Structure 1
Amino acid sequence: MSDETHHERELGGQLLASVSRSFYLTLKALPKELREPISLAYLLARTADTIADTALVSTTVRLDCLQSYRSLVRGSGDVQSLAATLISQFCTQQSDDAERRLMEKFADGIAWLRTMRPTPLAAIQNVLEHIIDGQMLDIRRFPADGRLRSLATPAELDEYTWLVAGCVGEFWTQLCATELPGALDPAIATAQMQDWGARMGKGLQLINILRDIGEDTRDGRCYLPCQPGEIQTEWSLWLQTCTEHLECGLRYVQHVNHTKLRYATALPLLLGIQTVAKMRTTPWDRILQGVKISRLDVASILAQAAIACRSPAALERLYRKLAQA
Structure 2
Amino acid sequence: MSDESHHERELGGQLLASVSRSFYLTLKALPKELREPISLAYLLARTADTIADTASVDAAIRLDCLERYRALVRGTGDVQSLANMLIRQFCPQQSDDAERRLMEKFADGIAWMRTMQPAPLAAIQSVLEHIIDGQMLDIRRFPSDGQLRRLASAKELDEYTWLVAGCVGEFWTQLCASELPASLDPAVSTAQMQEWGARMGKGLQLINILRDIGEDTRDGRCYLPCQPEDIQTEWSLWLQTCTEHLECGLRYVQHVAHGKLRYATALPLLLGIQTVAKMRTSTWDKIQQGVKISRLDVASILAQAAIACRSAGAMEKLYRKLAEA
Aligned to 1:301: 301
Give me the whole-angstrom Cα distance separating, in 2, the residues matched to 1:178 and 1:169. Answer: 14
Query: Following superposition, which runs of at least 4 residues in structure 1 exceed 4 angstroms of deviation?
Result: none
Within-5 A mapping of 1:24-173: 24-173=24-173
Q: Which deviations, in whole Å up to 9, do the C-alpha atoms of 1:69-116 show, x marking residues without a partner?
A: 000011100000000000000000001000000000000000000000
What is residue 291 of structure 2 aligned with on the other side? Answer: 291
Q: Which amino acid aligns with 1:131?
A: I
Which amino acid in 2 is paired with 1:252?
Y
Identity, in percent, stands at 87
List runs of 5+ in structure 2 lacking aligned partners.
none
State how far apart, in whole Å, the 2-side matches of 1:181 and 1:208 are. 31
Output one character per residue of 1:132-177: Cα deviation in whole Å (capped at 9) or x when no partner: 0000000000000000000000000000000000000000000000
Partner-residue secondary structure (3-state), 2:185 = coil
CA distance, structure 2, for counterparts of residue 89 and residue 249 of structure 1: 39
- Secondary structure (helix, strand or coil) at the match of 1:76 reads coil
SS at match of 2:181: coil
Distance 1:232 1:14 in 2: 40
TM-score by length of 1: 0.99
Find the counterpart in structure 1 of residue 20 from structure 2: 20
Q: Deviations for 1:243-266, whole angstroms, at most 9, x for unmatched residues? A: 000000000000000011000000
Q: Give the aligned partner of residue 194 of structure 1.
A: 194
Residue 5 (structure 1) shift: 1.3
Q: Provide the rounded CA distance (Å) in 2 between the counterparts of 1:319 and 1:290.
A: 23
- Cα distance in 2 for partners of 1:60, 1:71 equals 17
- TM-score normalised by structure 2 residue count: 0.99
CA deviation map 1:33-54 (0-9, x unaligned): 0000000000000000000000
Distance 1:294 1:202 in 2: 23
Letter in 1 for 2:80: Q
- 2:212 aligned with 1:212, yes or no? yes
Aligned to 2:229: 229
Q: Secondary structure at the match of 1:185?
A: coil
Distance 2:230 2:62 in 1: 32
SS at match of 1:288: helix
- The Cα offsets for residues 207-263 of structure 1, whole Å up to 9 and x where unpaired, read as 000000000000000000001111110000000000000000000000000011000
* Mapped partners of 1:47, 1:34: distance in 2: 20
Deviation string 1:190-221 (CA, Å, 9 cap, x unpaired) is: 10000000000000000000000000000000
- Structure 1: gaps spanning 5 or more residues: none
Structure 1 Cα separation of the partners of residues 225 and 153 of structure 2: 5
One-letter amino acid of the counterpart of residue 234, structure 1:
E
- Write the distance in 1 (CA, Å) between the matches of 2:322 and 2:298: 11
Q: Aligned partners of 1:6, 1:78: CA distance in 2, in Å?
A: 22
Q: Distance in 1 between matches of 2:265 and 2:196?
A: 12
Displacement of 1:6 in angstroms is 1.1
- Please tell me the residue identity of whatever aligns with 2:58: S
Tell me whether 1:179 sits opposite 2:183 in the alignment.
no
- Match runs of 1:200-279 below 5 Å: 200-279=200-279
CA RMSD of aligned residues (A): 1.0
